[in-house]
Structures are given as structure tokens and as C-alpha cells.
Chains A and B, each alone.
Chain A
Amino acid sequence: MSDRKEVLCIRCPKGCRLKLKIGDKVVVEGQECKLGEEYGRKEASSPQRVVPSTVKIIGARYPRLPVRSEKGVPMNKVEEVIDELKGVEVIAPMKKGAVIVENVADTSVDIIAERGMEVQE
């Protein structure tokens, strides 16, 4: 017994159309790279999204520091993650990849800095 489903891989702009066969295990077809297989499997059971946002940074070239969830968080947690980032404030300098929020919204996923920012008036 298996279920069939078509989803669009959103990991990159190629947008491969994945065909999922969902049974004891999930068989993914139609991906052009290996990220698609992982995406297809997750989409079959528990859809996840990487969340990009920004937090306030003090003393840097821009007032905002781009951050993202290190990996996907459950889709229904996206808005909670954003809300938790609203009050966050960091101080320059900041290193690329630094953990900004640990275990954001109880997802066991960290929020990391997408880039470094030096001190600048």
C-alpha cells in the first residue's frame, strides 16, 4: 500500500517537481540533486521551512543583522520563531555563523548570523 503525492522542491530555484511514493518508506523521484530527496521525505511527513529574518544590531554598518534558522523548523512554528526574534538585540562585532538564539521557540533549532559585521560608527 502506498500513497502518491506531488510536491515542488523549494530548496533552490530549480523547483524540481518531486513525485513521492509514501509507504513504509518514502520514495522520492524527480529531484535533480540530493537535497531534493531529503526535502521530499520531510515534506511527506512533517513539512519544514528555513526561516530568514533580521535582528537589531548595535554599532555596525547596518542597523539589522540577517539571521536564519540553522535548519528547517516545523511549518506551523514559523510565526512563533519570528515573534521570538522581535525583541532580540546584539552588539557588533558579530561573527558569521554565531548562534543568536538557541533552541528558538522550542524547536531545538538555533538561529544563526548569516554574515559577520564589524564595529562601525
Chain B
Amino acid sequence: MKDVVVIGGGPSGLAAASSIAEKGYKVVILERDDELGGLLQQCIHDGFGTILFDESLSGPEFADRFIEKVMRSDVPIELETYVKSVDKKDDHFELLTVTPEGVHKIKSRSIVYAIGCREKNRFEIKIGGTRPAGVYTAGTVQRLVNLYGVLPGKNPVIVGGGDVGLIVARHLYLEGVDSLFMVYPEDFFSGLPRNAQQCILDFDIPYRNRTTVKRILGDKKVEGVELVEVDEEWEMIPGTEEIYECDSLILSVGLIPYSEKIEDLGAEIDEETKGPVVNEYYGTTVDGVFSVGNLVQIFDYVDDAVKTAYIVAEGVDKFLKGIDVKRKKPIKLVPGDKIDTVTPQRIFYEEGEEVTVFFRPGVEKENAVVCLVNLGNVIKTYRKRYLRPSTLEEIKVPKDLFNGKKEVTIRVR
């Protein structure tokens, strides 16, 4: 019997496994791919690690820091091991894994899910038309270009101004497509401003805001798209349709946590983050099941995602030691006015100094005041120089602030 199984060998899973092993527990990492590092192996641009290491690393370089650490420890790593299902037994969990050798069972007292996120597809954003070859998600293109040196087409259109799309646009431009056009429904790129600047504006790549793709054209291969203008509510404006010729369509329309598996286990899912509801130690609503990294919510920045992995080690430790100092009813942390998401969503334990709370602003605002509110009273305020929806924010909340409360709301004044 293992103490802990960590599912997923991306940066969060690796960091979680190392910190848990340092506490003396028997941990194993299960990774479905044939190498460690997760998604970062295909993110070859720099900018990772500035918070954790004070250096600007590329994705593979950042991942390597965590891979090396795990390699130096005695944590066993099982590659090409896909976790198919997990069953909750009386006092342990039973995992069913699939490897090239066959199907196996593993028993563990607790589980840390670190399986990350996936990209939304064309059906989730309701693009109509035919189903020809040549429609890709931006992450797939990133993988094709950066690992295999294959371009998706000569004249791609990118729909959605998210980060992955912006970064892919720069790769495509520099690797030499004939033409490139980006459209997105927002007023301004939804990705980070830094990516808009260094990927699109630096190179004068053509783009159009308040525009989306209504239909895909072409029988066997993509021959074009029907573009349409949209209003502030992203409703298509009739009469503004226009055919644009292209040989491929790249979707960069958002990421979503991989929560199906953990939901099957009975964990409550947050409507806003689309990830599991977690407490301050990243425990889900199923005892003994934890969740870290991009599965909890989409962290734009992997440095933040990894912070959750350091915190989870404490939670696993408490669970395995049987320390049960839970509040009888966990306190809820909820997003209020001008806030889209808040994690953690629950405060379980009374002891501890402070809680690291992440929230995503719903508005762009300079010199903002962020308030913690209980029963209509402001109980603490934080000043933030610049809020914007594309950037996740972090605050430290003293634990005793939660005493005697049922619910605390975070809002922007």
C-alpha cells in the first residue's frame, strides 16, 4: 500500500511528489506520457520561473528543475501509465492503470491529482459548418511546430486571442507561413498583455477584434471561414458576414481543467473555475483526494500553479496523520462583485497562520481596492495597483479572520 499516489508528472505533480516525499511518505508518480514535464515541454518561449527562481526560463528548462529534483530523490516514477479509474474503498483507494504491459491495480491511502487542463474545442464555442481536415487547437499546433517542425498550413486563421494562440502566432510567423490572420470577439486580446505585445504587435501580424468565425468552409480540407462581427455580448451582427480564404483554422478559445475524472469520484466541481472545490490545503470534498496545479483552475502562470503543490504537502500530511481539526462546517470563500473566481473555496482548519487566496478579477481597474466582506461588513482590504481579467491575483489572508464566520466574500470596490 502506498501512502500517496500523484497522478500527473507535470510541474505541479513533480513539485507535490518531492514535497510529500520530504515529509517521509511513500509516494509514486504516475504519468501517461513517456516523459516527465507535462505541457511545458512544448512551451519553448521564455518567461517561466521569474517568481520562483528569479530567472526567466523556457518551459522545458523550468520543467527540468522539477524533474531533476525528483530524479535525485527516491520517488519512483511510472511513465506510460494512464490512470483509467479510481475506486474509493473503506480506508484506501484502488487505482486501475493501463500501461503497455497491461492493466494493473495500485492501492494507496491518498491521491493527489495533478492532471492539468485541456483546450476547448470548436463545438464548445459553437462554430458551425463542415468538418474538414485542417482545424486544430492552438496547443496541438504548438506541439506540431515545436516538437515535430510541422506547420498546420500556409495561410492559417487563428480564432481567439488567448495566450496559447498569441504564442503560436509568433511561432508560425517566424517559422514562415505565407499569411496569418487573427480574429477574436473581445475588444482587446484576452491573453496577457505581454503576449499581445511580443507576439502580435512586435511583428505587425494582422488581427481584427470583435470578430469571430461563424462557419468553416470546405469539404475535405479547410478552404475558408465565414467571419462575422460581434457586439459587446458576443452576439453575431447579421449582415456583417464575410468569407475569408484560408487553408487551416486554429482555435485558441480557452483552457478548462480536466475535472471529469475527479468528478466521477464524487468531488464537488466549482461552476466558475470548472475545477474541483478545494480547501486551503487543496483537499477536495472527497477525504483523501487532493488536487493541484491547473486542474484546480487555470493558472496563467506556472509559477503560481506550482505554489499549490507546495501547499498540498501540508494537507496530505495532516490527512495521513489523522489530524482532524476541521471546523465543524467549513467556511465558504465566494466571489462577489467584479470577481470571477476564487480559490480555495473552503477553509477547513482553524490552525495555521494565513491562507494564500487566488482570485481572477472580472474587470480592468487601476488602483483597485479588494475587500473581504462578511455579512455586509468589510473585514479587510487590499490595495492592488492594476487588476485585469487576464491576470490571476494573489492575497494572503490571516487565518483568524475566518473565526466565527460562515462565509466570506471577495469583491472589488
Give A residues with C-beta under 8 Å from B: 8-15, 17, 30, 33-35, 49-50, 52-54, 56, 61-64, 66-68, 75, 78-79, 82, 96, 114-115
Chain A CB within 10 A, most for which of B54, B174, B192: B174
Chain B CB within 10 A, most for which of A49, A50, A75: A50
The answer to the question of B148 belonging to the interface, with a C-beta cut-off of 8 Å to chain A, is yes
Residues of B within 8 A of A15 (CB): 192-194, 391
Q: Cα distance A29–B145 when bound, in Å? A: 38
Quick one: closest A residue to B301, CB to CB? A13
Quick one: closest A residue to B174, CB to CB? A82
Residues of B within 8 A of A35 (CB): 50, 54, 56
Q: Cα distance A10–B191 when bound, in Å? A: 13
The answer to the question of B58 belonging to the interface, with a C-beta cut-off of 8 Å to chain A, is yes
**Are A62 and B44 touching (Cβ within 8 A)?**
no
Give B residues with C-beta under 8 Å from A: 34-35, 41, 44-48, 50-51, 54, 56, 58-61, 64, 145-149, 163, 171, 174-175, 192-195, 197-198, 202, 300-301, 303, 385-386, 391
Contact of A115 among B34, B41, B148, B303 (CB under 8 A): B41
Q: Cα distance A9–B391 when bound, in Å? A: 14
Q: Given A54-B44, A82-B174, A115-B61, answer yes or no on A13-B194 (Cβ-Cβ < 8 Å).
A: yes
Q: Given A52-B58, A82-B174, A115-B64, answer yes or no on A62-B147 (Cβ-Cβ < 8 Å).
A: yes
Quick one: closest B residue to A69, CB to CB? B46
Q: Cα distance A56–B192 when bound, in Å? A: 30
Q: Cα distance A59–B148 when bound, in Å? A: 13
Q: Given A12-B51, A14-B391, answer yes or no on A114-B149 (Cβ-Cβ < 8 Å).
A: no
Q: Cα distance A49–B199 when bound, in Å? A: 11
Q: Given A12-B51, A52-B44, A54-B146, answer yes or no on A114-B60 (Cβ-Cβ < 8 Å).
A: yes
Q: Cα distance A118–B297 when bound, in Å? A: 34
Residues of B within 8 A of A56 (CB): 149
**Are A11 and B56 touching (Cβ within 8 A)?**
yes
Contact of A14 among B50, B163, B195 (CB under 8 A): B50
**Are B58 and A30 touching (Cβ within 8 A)?**
no
**Nearest 10 Cβ contacts at the A-B interface:** A12-B50, A115-B60, A66-B44, A10-B194, A13-B301, A64-B149, A62-B147, A15-B194, A52-B45, A114-B58
Q: Cα distance A78–B175 when bound, in Å? A: 12
Q: Cα distance A68–B61 when bound, in Å? A: 11
Q: How far is the CB of B245 from chain A (nearest CB, A)?
A: 26
Q: Cα distance A53–B46 when bound, in Å? A: 11
Q: Cα distance A66–B300 when bound, in Å? A: 22
Contact of B198 among A10, A54, A62, A115 (CB under 8 A): A10
Q: Cα distance A46–B59 when bound, in Å? A: 26
Q: Cα distance A11–B301 when bound, in Å? A: 12
Residues of B within 8 A of A14 (CB): 50-51, 301, 391
Residues of B within 8 A of A13 (CB): 47, 163, 192, 194-195, 300-301, 391
Q: How far is the CB of A4 from chain B (nearest CB, A)?
A: 17
Residues of A within 8 A of B174 (CB): 53, 78-79, 82
Q: A54-B44, A114-B59 are in contact. List 14 more A-B contacts (CB 8 A).
A: A10-B194, A10-B195, A10-B198, A12-B301, A14-B391, A15-B391, A33-B51, A49-B202, A50-B56, A53-B171, A63-B148, A68-B45, A68-B46, A68-B58
